[in-house]
Amino acid sequence: MRMRRRRRASGTYRSFHNNPAPVGDSPDKALALIFAEAVFTFTLPTPTTLKGTIDWQGGGLDLEGTVGPGAAGFGPTVAITGHGRPGSSTDGWEYDYYGAIAHPWPNGVNQVPAIVGTVIRAKPHNGEPAGYVAFVRRRQTALSAGRALARRRNPSQ
């Protein structure tokens, strides 16, 4: 089965502060690690291109990127650039995202397809320097981008 073009996918995005300190059993410390939460929505106009948005309360970025084959034995990768929207509170912002399809465990229980990777603030904004945080994108709709991208690797899915 070939990957369908123009299929829309959306999912929860969470990025985390780059803080290696253990949180122990403190829910407050764990919650404080969250840097941002938003919704990723994108389409795959071709098997190697991605377009979409990342939106959160009060803002968002427009996304464009590429889909790559990934390393041998691993799922596809995505390289995405997010641009702030002209005339909005994110005007001039730029973030770069790089991720890969998380390994689908054959005996996993309730595992949902996910893209995992890193994000870097490519340009400083609002007095904040360029920097990076980890990110996870998780399935939210009936057909996830993870499953759609995985079809590039294994057409039998």
Predicted TM-score of the model (pTM) = 0.79
- pLDDT score of 17: 84
Provide the residue ranges of all domains of the chain, joining segments of one domain with +.
Answer: 8-153
Q: Are 52 and 61 in contact (CB under 8 A)?
A: no
Q: What is the DSSP letter of 90?
A: T
146 has pLDDT over 80: no
Please state the rounded mean pLDDT for residues 9-19: 86
Give strand pairing partners of 54. Answer: 40, 61
Please state the rounded mean pLDDT for residues 80-92: 96
Q: In CATH terms, is domain 8-153 a member of 2.40.128?
A: yes
